[in-house]
Amino acid sequence: MIKIWSWGVVIFGAMFFALPLIGMAEFSLSMRRGVYSLDAYWVVLADPNFQATFGYSVIMALATIAFGVLLVVPTAYWVRLKIPAARPWVEFITLLPLVIPAIVIVFGYIRLYNTSSFLPMTGSVMGTNLLLMFGYATLSLPYMYRSIDTGLRTIDVATLTEAAQILGAGWVTIIGRVILPNVLASVLSGAFLTFAIVIGEFTMAALLDRPAFGPYMQILGANRAYEPAALAVIAFGLTWACMGLIGLVTLLSKHTQAAKR
Amino acid sequence: MAFLNLENLEKSFGETRVVRDFSLAVEQGEFVSFLGPSGCGKTTTLRMIAGFETPTSGSIQIGGVDVVNTRPNQRNIGMVFQSYALFPNLTVAQNVAFGLRVNGVDKATSAARVDEMLSMIGLGSLGARYPFQLSGGQQQRVALARALAPAPKVLLLDEPLSALDAQIRVSLRAEIRAIQQKLNITTIYVTHDQEEALSMSDRIVVMHKGIADQTGTPKEIYGRPATRFVASFIGTLNQLEAKVADSQSGQIALDDQIITLDRPIGHANGATVALAIRPQALRIGAPVTGEVSMRARVIEAHFLGAVVRLTLSVGYTQFSVDAFNRADTNLPEAGTDVVVAVAASDVLLLAD
């Protein structure tokens, strides 16, 4: 009896996820009346705006990931090594982006860094891009920090640091050659989440008026019928491809096998 | 002057003085063990030499240069940790090469040195393996090779064998000692295992509550413990409560018997002292020249194979006597009175 119920719950949950996806995929294939076709996909992929905005968002995502790794790995490492008592506080700070809406952050940015401020970052395209990247990094901070911190927990940070130090290594070498490679799987999962957040982000990019993928999806969704569904399926597929890649990398990096045994 | 010089080292964590007034001079190529129970300050002293802890006061000199303000990565010291601390993301060869590469040694030279180190520890064929593919003993040998590869001035070993099982511990300690002697490298070895310290060291520092109780060769430490702590920590030792009867003529009152030692006693008449005697120094039988004797009652006799251990009593104090088991040995019956003899020079007096 219990078994039937638990299967029922599983099936209900699966339907909860699967049905909208199936519906969306089905709809995206229905551009030509009466038969399934990939017409909507060709339209989307051929749209130069799609290529431009998607390319822009990918570059922004990569920049955000690089910045996030450079910021979070040394921070989480330092907190674990030197000020473990501060860990709850740092964790709290990294959680703040979850409770502060993106729109609040971006309004703050615009107020602080507008063209008549002391640091007119919104005055230039590069400045605005930089501002957007910082915004993205803030949004992804909770996920990035958490996954890297979890990764650091699996290695003996203090002893490995001392072992590297006594062999003559400085801080940059320690972080770059000892700490980072050993938490690479966690960094990648953080990076993947960051990628997903940046690709789908709408508010910040729209308010800073940058040609990102999020606003493009919104414009397309407001003006077309089948193409947005096709776009969503493409984005979904890309996300899953990313996830598969991460799994592959984790599988292929030999030394992490020890942790799994 | 000695190669490694520790002078009046002090370390306090808040109110707790972990290391007190610690001084030690270690010669080039000497193997010195810090021996003591956990919390005695031996690891803290080692970590001060490595540079991971800063002394509250005192000085550390290596080769005549004060290194207290030198960062750990500038000290040119090799260290082996209890938990191996191999870099999990690097192969065995890359681990051994790590210290060479960060010090700017070129690839070819470092590869040759790595080969030399790996064959020295007998793992020449395992260079391409990852640490998790090795046993504990192999990992610790790699850690030793890694520490020695950059040719450090001093080698520090922090309980390197504690995580290993008994058999490997014994074989590896011989190996470590052989490598140390071959390279003639100044070595500090921290352990809580007296057998390790006694079998490997040139000298031992027995530590207790942050103080170096005694520094000496293994033979001195074992045969002439300077304090009650050393006496009780190293090996089995009988301690018999007694009173000084006459310090000039070396007379000591043990229960209702008077024992006359061959030397004057450095304690006042009437002072309470402990007679410390190793179980194997005692023998059942009448005294010969140079020996002292006492009457004792047999409580029980244990047959331990090669050794026979008797438990005897004088008054209310119990002590044990070890004798080799010979075919002609007759075990005394429990309850009988016997005479026990011991060389007067083997009777140590320990004050409180």
Minimal-distance CA residue of chain B relative to A171: B73
Determine whether the interchain pair A163/B87 forms a contact, defined as Cβ–Cβ distance below 8 Å. yes
Distance (Å) from the alpha carbon of A190 to chain B's nearest alpha carbon = 19
Nearest 5 degrees, angle CA B318-CA B324-CA B327?
Answer: 120
Interface of B with A (CB under 8 A): 50-52, 71-79, 81, 83, 85-90, 98-99, 102-103, 130-132, 146-147, 150, 156
Give the C-alpha separation, B290 to B276, whole Å.
17
* Angstrom distances, CA of residue A123 to CA of A48, A53, A156, B50: 27, 21, 46, 53
Taking the CA atoms of residue A154, residue A159, residue A165 and residue A171 in that order, the dihedral angle to the nearest 10 degrees is 40
Residue B286 near residue B339, CB atoms below 8 Å: yes
CB of A117 within 8 Å of any CB in chain B?
no
Closest CA to B130 of A189, A259, A132, A25: A259
Residues 6 or more apart in contact with residue B52 via CB below 8 angstroms: A162, A165, B72
Residues 6 or more apart in contact with residue B346 via CB below 8 angstroms: B277, B278, B281
One digit per residue, the tens of pLDDT, for chain B of length 352 reads 789 999 999 999 988 999 999 999 999 999 999 999 988 999 999 999 999 999 999 999 999 999 999 999 999 999 999 999 999 999 999 999 999 999 999 999 999 999 999 999 999 899 999 999 999 999 999 999 999 999 999 999 999 998 898 889 999 999 999 999 999 999 999 999 999 999 999 999 999 999 999 999 999 998 888 888 888 888 888 888 888 888 888 888 888 888 888 888 888 888 888 888 888 888 888 888 888 888 899 998 888 888 888 899 988 888 988 888 877 777 788 888 889 999 888 888 887 6
Closest CA to B279 of B339, B239, B333, B329: B239
Q: What is the model's pLDDT at position A240? A: 81
Residues 6 or more apart in contact with residue A24 via CB below 8 angstroms: A229, A232, A233
* Residue to test with chain B: of A154, A166, A180, most B Cβ within 10 A: A166
Give the C-alpha separation, A16 to A10, whole Å.
10
What would you measure as the largest C-alpha separation in chain B, in angstroms?
Answer: 78
Residue A208 near residue A173, CB atoms below 8 Å: no
Distance (Å) from the alpha carbon of B157 to chain A's nearest alpha carbon = 12
Minimal-distance CA residue of chain B relative to A185: B89
Give the C-alpha separation, A142 to A139, whole Å.
7
Give the C-alpha separation, B73 to B53, whole Å.
13
Minimal-distance CA residue of chain B relative to A166: B73
Residues of B whose CB is below 8 A from A168: 73-74, 76, 99, 102-103, 150
Determine whether the interchain pair A159/B83 forms a contact, defined as Cβ–Cβ distance below 8 Å. yes
Residue B319 near residue B251, CB atoms below 8 Å: no
* Statement: residue A141 has pLDDT above 90: yes
Closest CA to B287 of B262, B264, B263: B262
Kindly report the backbone phi and psi dihedral angles of residue B214, in degrees, each rounded to the nearest multiple of 5, phi listed first: -155, 140
Band the pLDDT of A260: cuts 50, 70, 90: very low
Residues of A whose CB is below 8 A from B52: 162, 165
Residue B194 near residue B233, CB atoms below 8 Å: yes
Distance (Å) from the alpha carbon of B339 to chain A's nearest alpha carbon = 57
Q: Where are the alpha helices (DSSP H) in chain B?
A: 42-50, 92-102, 107-120, 136-148, 166-183, 194-200, 218-223, 228-233
Minimal-distance CA residue of chain A relative to B49: A166
Residues of A whose CB is below 8 A from B83: 156, 159
Determine whether the interchain pair A258/B81 forms a contact, defined as Cβ–Cβ distance below 8 Å. no
Domains and CATH numbers, chain A: 49-260 (1.10.3720.10)
Band the pLDDT of A93: cuts 50, 70, 90: very high
A205-233 mean pLDDT: 90
Report the length, in residues, of chain A.
Answer: 261
Q: What is the model's pLDDT at position A256? A: 55
